[in-house]
Chains A and B, each alone.
Chain A
Amino acid sequence: MLTAISTLDWFPIQLSFQVSTLATAIALIFGVSLAWVLARLRFWGKEWLDAAITLPLVLPPTVLGYYLLVVLGQRTFLGRAHEWFWGSPLTFTPAAAVVAATIHALPLMVKSVRAAFEALDQRIEDAARTLGASELRILLTVTLPLARRSIQAATVLAFARALGDFGVTLMIAGNIPGKTQTASVAIYDAVQAGREQDALVLVLIVSALALAFLYTANKLSSTKF
C-alpha cells in the first residue's frame, strides 16, 4: 500500500480535475443559457431540444462514445473543422476528455436550472419590468440571484458527473498514459491489468478529494450572503 502511494502517478488525478473544472465551466455557461431559453422563450421543437440534451444520460456511455468517435473523428466534417480551427485533431487529446465530461454535465445543469427558472414567481420579474428594467437587467439582478441555490447545486452535480465520466472518455480520448488517461480510466486500467493495489490507492485518493470538494461546495452554498 505504501509503495503504491509513493510510486503513484499523479498525472491522471490532475488531468481529471482539470478536465472536470473546464467541463463544468462550459456546462455552466451553456447550461444556464439553454435553461433560460427553454424556460422563458416559446418556440417550436422546444421539448425536443430538451429531450435531445438529456439523451446522453440515457445512452450507454460506450455507445455514445462510439457515435461521438464517428461524428468527431478525424475524417469527418466536424473533426476537420476542429483541426482547421485549432490546428490539431480533437479525438485522443485531453480536449476530447473535456467534450466527454461536458456532454454528461450539461443535461444535469440544464434540467435543474430550467426547473428553478420555471418555479420562480413570475410576478417578481413582472414587477421589475413595470419599473422599467431591461430583460438583461432582470436576468442578472432578479432571475439569476433568485435561482442561485439551484445553480450552485447543479454545478456541484455537473462537476461530480464530469469527474466520474469513464465510458465516453475511454472511447474518444483513449487510454493513453500521460496524455489522455484520466483518473477513472486509470482506475479501470489498473483493475484490468490486475494492479489492485494501484487501483485501490487511486480510488481512495479520488474519493477523498471528491468528498472534500463536495463538502466544501455544500458548505459554501449554504452560507447566507
Chain B
Amino acid sequence: MPNPWLLLWAALLASAACTQNPALKVTVPPVTIYVAAASDLTPAFTEIGSCLGASKSIKVVFTFGSSGLLSKQIEQGAPFDLFASASGGFVDRLESQGLVLQGSRQVFAQGRLVIWQRQDTATPVNSLEDLATPAIRRIAIANPEHAPYGLAARQSLESKKLWEAVKEKIVFGENVAQAFQFAQTGNVDAAIVAQSLAMRPQGRAIPVEPAAHAPIDQTLCILRRSQQPEVCRQFVEFLFSADGRAILRRYGFVVRSTVLSTE
C-alpha cells in the first residue's frame, strides 16, 4: 500500500510542472527511451521528461552533450532512440548514412542568442558593439567550428563588422554550456551563449537580434535503430503540444504558435 501523502505530494509536483490530463491514469509500467540532446536543451528537456513521466508513464533518459560528439557516437552505434541537435547539419550527416527513420526529421524550435554577464559585473554591456570597448577583456563563445551557438555568435559579430576588433579577446568553450560557465565563474567579462542556459536570476542577459545570424534550428530525428519508434513519436507529439511549446518558450526558445512544418 503506497503512502497516500507521498502520492499526493507526487501529484502536486506533477501538476505544478505541467497540466495533467485526468483521463490518463498511470497503470502501464513505464517504457524507457534514450534521448541524446544538445546541451542547450538541458533545462527544457529535463522538465519535459518529468512531465512525460508523470502523464504518460514514459521514462526518458537523457544524455546531454555537444551535438557534434553525440552525432559521432550515434554514427558508431550508440544506443539512442531519438536525437535532438542544436543544428540541422548533424542530422543531415546521420540521414546521409541511413541512420534516421524516414520522415521523422523535424525542426521543433529555434535557439536565441544572448550576451550574458554576471550581475556584479563592473563593465555592463548593452549591445554587441559594447563588446569592442577596451574595458571588456575576455569574451567566451562556444567553438564555432563545431558548436552551433558558437557559429551563430561569430556570424553575429561578423555581421556587425566587429569580429576583427574582438577576435583577440575571444575564448572558445568546448560547447555552449562551457562558454557559459566561463562567464558564470567570472573568468570572462561576457559570454555570447544560448538564452536557454542563461535563465539564471543572478545574471544579466541582453538578447542578440536573430537577424544577425543564421537561424539556430533545433532539429530532432528518430533513429532507425530504435525499437520504440511509437514512444518516440509520443515524445515528439508532446514537444509540439501546447504544454511542450510552453516549456520550450519559457526557456527562451522561439516556437511558432502552430506546428512547424517538416523541412
Contacts and interface: CB of A to CB of B under 8 A. Distances in A.
B77 A189 contact: no
B77 A92 contact: yes
B178 A192 contact: yes
Contact of A175 (B42, B63, B76, B77): B63
A91 B78 CA distance: 7
Contacts of B63: 174-177
B73 A69 contact: yes
Contacts of B163: none
B65 A69 contact: no
B172 interface: no
Given A91-B78, A174-B78, A189 B64 contact: yes
Given A177-B63, A191-B181, A193-B64, A92 B73 contact: yes
A175 B65 contact: yes
A145 interface: no
A193 B69 CA distance: 16
A73 interface: yes
30 contacts: A66-B72, A69-B72, A69-B73, A69-B76, A74-B76, A74-B77, A75-B76, A79-B77, A89-B77, A91-B76, A92-B77, A92-B79, A174-B63, A174-B78, A175-B64, A176-B79, A177-B61, A177-B63, A191-B181, A192-B39, A192-B42, A192-B64, A192-B178, A192-B181, A193-B46, A193-B64, A193-B177, A194-B43, A194-B197, A194-B200
A192 to B, nearest CB: 5
Given A176-B34, A191-B181, A192-B177, A91 B77 contact: yes
Nearest to B79: A92
B238 interface: no
A110 B181 CA distance: 38
Interface string A180-204: 0000000001011110000000000
Contacts of A69: 72-73, 76
B65 to A, nearest CB: 6
A92 B78 contact: yes
Counting chain A CB atoms within 10 Å of each CB, the highest count among B34, B73, B76, B181 belongs to: B76
Interface string A84-97: 00000101100000
Contacts of A191: 181
Nearest to B176: A192
A73 B77 CA distance: 7
A191 B65 CA distance: 12
Contacts of A174: 63, 73, 78
Contacts of B64: 175, 189, 192-193
Nearest to B78: A92
Interface in A153-197: 171, 174-179, 189, 191-194
